[in-house]
Structure 1
C-alpha cells in the first residue's frame, strides 16, 4: 500500500512538473509570438502602403499623358488606364481569397507580391510603335499589377488579423493594429504618391517630361522588393495551422451559416467604395473647376492635402473599434459621414466661395468615411468568419466593394453632367453620396454580427457545426494533415 501510494505521489509530481514545464515553455514563447505577430502586421502594412501608392500614382500622371501624348491619349484610354487596375484588383481579390485558404497565407503572399512587381515593371517599361500601342501595354501591365494588388487585400488583412490574435496584448489592440495595417497604410500610400509626384516634378523643374511618369511608376517596386525577404520567411498563423480545411469545402453548410454576415460585410463595403472612390477621384476635378488657372503642380498639391485628411480618420477609427466595437464604429462612421455630406451638399455654394474652408470641410468629409467604414470593413470581414473561410469571404467582400467603386465612378460623372450648371451637379453628387452612406450604416447595424474578440471562439463553433452536420473533420487543420502524411 505504501509503495503504491508513493508511486502515485511520484506520478502526480511528474505530471505537475510536466504541466509546469509546458506552462513555462508557453510563457517563454509569448515574447517570440508577440514579436512575430507585430512583424507580420508591419510587413502587411508596408505591402498595402505600396498598393496604395501604385493605385494612386496613375491619377496624378494622367494629366501629364494628355500633354505628352496628345495623339494617343483620349477619354477612352484614360478610363481604361484607371479601370484596368480596378478590374485586376477584383479578380485578384477573388482568386487570392480562395488561394490563401486552400494552400496557405504564405504562398498567397509571395504570389501576390510577384504579380504586383511584374505589373509595375512592365508599366514602367511601357513602349510601342505608336503612342496608342504604348498605352495598351500600360493598360495590360496595370491590370497585372492590379491583380497582385487585389490579392494583397485578403492576404494582408487575414495575416494581420490572425497575427494580432497570437497574444492577449495584441488581441486587445487588434482594431488599431489592423486599421494601421490596412486602411491607414493604403491612404498613406495615396499621400506618398502625391508627395513623390511633386518631388519628381520639382526635379524636372515642373516641366512635362516622359521621365516624370517613368520614375514615379518605377519607384512603385522599391517597397515590394524590399519586403520580399521578410515575406518569404513568414509562416502561416497559429489559427490557420489549427483550422485549415485541406479537403473539399462544404459550401452549402457554409452559406447556410454565414449568408447574413456575408451580405452585410459585402454591401457595407459596396456602399463605402461607391462613395469614397468617386469623391477621391473628383477632388482634383472639383479643385480644377474652382481654380481653373492652377498648374498641374498646384492641383496635385491640393489633392495631396485633401488625402492627408484620411490619415487622422483612420487612427481615430482604429481606436474606436477597440473601444466601442467593430460594427458600432462602422455604423457611427457611416451616419456621421452622411450627415456631413448632407451639410456640404445643402450649403455647397457658400462653402465653395471660401476656398480654404471648402478644402477643410471636404477633407473632414473624407476623414469621416475612413474613420467608420474605411477601417471597419477590413476587420468586420475578417472577424465575422472562421479561419478556414476568412480569405474566401474577405476577398469576396472586397471585390464587391471594388465593384461599387467602379459603378460609382461611372455613374457620378453622368449625374454631375446632367445638371444645367457644374455647381448644381456637384451638389447633387454630394446629396446622393450622403444618402448611400446612410444606407450603408443601416446595413452594417442589422446584418453584421458582434463577434468575440478571440478568433478561436468562432473557429470552435464552426468546427462543431460541421461535425453536427456530418462533415468529416478528421483532417481538419494544417498540422493534422502534415502529421498524417508523415505517418504514412
Structure 2
C-alpha cells in the first residue's frame, strides 16, 4: 500500500442531497488504501486485533452486576450498609473515563499499537488482582476497599481500548472492500462488547451451579478471574500489529489546539451527547438487570435461575448488534442510529405501560422478551453506530482524542445512570412505579436522541475517513498551518534524507572518477 493519495476538487453533480447539503464542494478521493492484493484474512485481522479487546469491556463491566448480587447475599449487612454497594459496580466507569482521555492523547501523540499493548497489560494485571482481592486482616470492609481500588485501575485499561483499539480498527477498515467497512468495524467492536455481556450473564449461572450457593465466596472470584483470558488471548495479535496507513500519513507533531477546537467542537458535542444518553440507560440496565429479575422471580427463586434468565435476556443484544452491522452499511450510520434508538424508545414506553402485568413470576418469559427487544433495538441503533460515528467524524490526526472525549462523556453517562436509577426506584411511590419509572426516563431520552442524530449528525459514507482528512488539511492550510510537517516522516525530513542520499551518491561517483 502506498502512503500517498490525491484529492481533486469536484463541483460536479453530487450523488445524494444529503451529501450535497453536508459540503458544497465535495472532494473526490482516489485512495489506494483498499489493498486487494492481500487475502481477506490479511485485510481483516488488523481490525480484529484492534477492536476485539472491547470484549473485555462487555465482560468485566457486566460481570460486576452478578458479583454485586452475590456480595449482597454474602454480606447482607456489611456490604449493603457500606459505600461499596454503590462504588464496586460503578467505580470502573470512573477509571474508564480516565483511561479514555489518557489513551486518547497517547494514541494520537505517540502510537496506536503501543497504546493498545499498554491497555491490554493493564487489563490482565487488574482483572487478576480483582479476582484475588483481599482486605487488611481479612475484614470485609478491607475486601470491599481493595476490590474498589482494583476495579478503578481495571477501568483505566478498559478505557484505553476505546481511543486506541476502536480508532485503529476504524482506520484499518480502509483496506477492506467498500460497502462492507462498517459491518466489519461493528463486528469487532460493539458485537464484541455484547458477546462479553452474554458471557458475563452465562458464566455466573454455570459457576453458581458448579460451586452451589454454599461456596459463593469462591464463585465470585472465579467469575472475575475469567476476565483475564480475553486480553491475554490478544497479546500476540497486537504485538504483530502495524500502525494503520492513515495514522502514519496524517499524524501531527504540533497541535494547533484552538484551531482544532473551533473546527470540531459542535460535532463533538453532538456525538458526545448521544453517547451520554445511550450509556446512561444501557449500562445501568445491564448492571441491575439481574436484581430486577430476582424481584420478578420472587425471593424464593434460586440464584442460578435469576442468572439463567439474565443470560436469556442478554442474548437479545446479539441479534440487534448483528443486524445493525449490516443496516449501518445499507442505510448509513446516522439513519441506522436514529431508527434503532427511536424504536427502542417506543418499545420502552410500551413496556413501562404494561410493567405491572409483565413484572410477575408467571409472566417472566414475556418480561424477558419485551425487555430483550428493548435492548436489541438499542444495539441496532446507537450501540453499533455511535462508536463508528465517533471514529469517522474527525480527522486521523486528532481521532484518538476526539473519540476519547466522546467515549468518556458516554461513560460519565453510564456512571450517572448507575447512581440515578436506584434513586429513581427508591423514590417511587410503589413497587410498580419503581419498575416503570426507569423505562419512562430511558425511553424519553431515546426519542430525544433519535431527533438529535437525525438532524445534527453529519453525512457518513464509506470513504468518510479519507474525505475528512482532506477537509481537515484544507482547513489547516487556510489558517496558516504547515501540513507538510504531518505524517510519521514529514516531507521536510524526507527531503533532507533525499538530499543526503543524493550527496552520498555524488561523492561516490566523484571517487570512482
TM-score, normalised with respect to structure 1: 0.90
Q: 2:49 aligns with which of 19, 43, 47?
A: 43
What CA distance in whole angstroms lies between the structure 1 residues aligned with 2:217 and 2:119?
29
CA distance in 2, matches of 1:403, 1:209: 31
Name the residue aligned to 2:480.
Answer: 470
Q: 2:61 aligns with which of 47, 51, 55?
A: 55
User: Which of 85, 97, 101 is the equivalent residue of 1:90?
Assistant: 97
Provide the residue aligned with 1:376 in structure 2. 385
Shift of 1:207: 2.9
The CA deviation at 1:244 is 0.5
SS at match of 1:164: helix
Is 1:412 paired with 2:421? yes
Aligned-residue offset at 1:265: 0.6
1:125 aligns to 2:132 (yes or no):
yes
Deviation at 1:223, TM superposition (A): 2.0
The answer to whether residue 204 in structure 2 is matched with residue 197 in structure 1 is yes
Q: CA deviation at 1:206?
A: 4.3
Instruction: Tell me how far 1:197 sits from its aligned partner.
Output: 2.0
Q: How much has 1:296 moved relative to structure 2?
A: 1.3
CA displacement at 1:486 relative to structure 2? 6.0
Deviation at 1:35, TM superposition (A): 3.3
Distance in structure 2 (CA, Å) of the matches to 1:156 and 1:57: 22
Mapped partners of 2:439, 2:203: distance in 1: 30
- Structure 2 contact 33–175 (Cα < 8 Å) conserved: no
1:478 counterpart SS class: coil
Instruction: For 1:243-258, list aligned pairs within 5 A.
Output: 243-247=250-254, 249-258=255-264
Q: Distance in 1 between matches of 2:71 and 2:37?
A: 51
Cα distance in 2 between the residues matched to 1:204 and 1:270: 38
235-244 or 73-82, larger mean C-alpha shift: 73-82
Q: Quote the residue 2:366 is aligned against.
A: 357
Distance (whole Å) between structure 2 residues aligned to residue 420 and residue 217 of structure 1: 36
- String of CA shifts for 1:309-353, please: whole Å, max 9, x gaps: 011010111111100011111111111111111111122223335
What is the aligned counterpart of 1:324 among 331, 356, 363?
Answer: 331
Q: Structure 1: which 5+ runs fail to align? A: 1-25
Alignment of 1:26-425 (within 5 A): 30-32=36-38, 34-70=40-76, 72-75=78-81, 76-128=83-135, 129=137, 130-167=139-176, 169=177, 171-247=178-254, 249-292=255-298, 293-353=300-360, 354-425=363-434
Alpha-carbon deviations, 1:166-189, whole Å to 9, x = none? 24x1x4212211111111101111
Match of residue 22 from structure 1? none
**Mean Cα deviation higher: 151-160 or 407-416:** 407-416
Aligned position for 2:490:
480
* 1:400, distance to aligned residue in structure 2 (A): 0.6
Aligned-partner Cα distance in 1 for 2:40–2:253: 27
Partner of 2:27: none
* Residues 200 and 350 of structure 1: CA distance in aligned 2, closer, same or farther (over 3 Å): closer
> Structure 1 CA distance, aligned partners of 2:220 and 2:497?
53
Instruction: Give the helix-richer structure, 1 or 2.
Output: 1
Q: Distance in 2 between matches of 1:67 and 1:392?
A: 41
1: CA distance, partners of 2:223 / 2:437: 35
Q: Which range is displaced more, 50-59 or 94-103? A: 50-59
The answer (yes or no) to whether the contact 1:336–1:368 under 8 Å persists in 2 is yes
- Deviation, structure 1 residue 69: 4.0
Q: Indicate if the aligned counterparts of 2:395 and 2:469 stay in contact, CA closer than 8 A.
A: yes
- Could you say if the C-alpha distance between residues 346 and 72 of structure 1 is closer, same or farther in structure 2, counting changes exceeding 3 Å? closer
Matched, 1:447 2:453: no
**Per-residue CA shift, 1:20-69, capped at 9, x if unaligned?**
xxxxxx89963337534311222234311122111111211122223334
Which has the larger displacement, 36-45 or 177-186? 36-45
- Tell me, what secondary structure is at the counterpart of 1:30? coil
**Paired residue secondary structure (1:227):** helix
Measured in 1, the distance between the counterparts of 2:57 and 2:243 equals: 22
Question: Cα distance, 1:217 vs. partner?
Answer: 1.6
CA distance in 2, matches of 1:178, 1:138: 33
Structure 2 residue ranges without an equivalent (≥5): 1-31, 501-513
Pairwise CA RMSD = 2.0
Contact 1:126/1:134 (8 A) holds in 2: yes
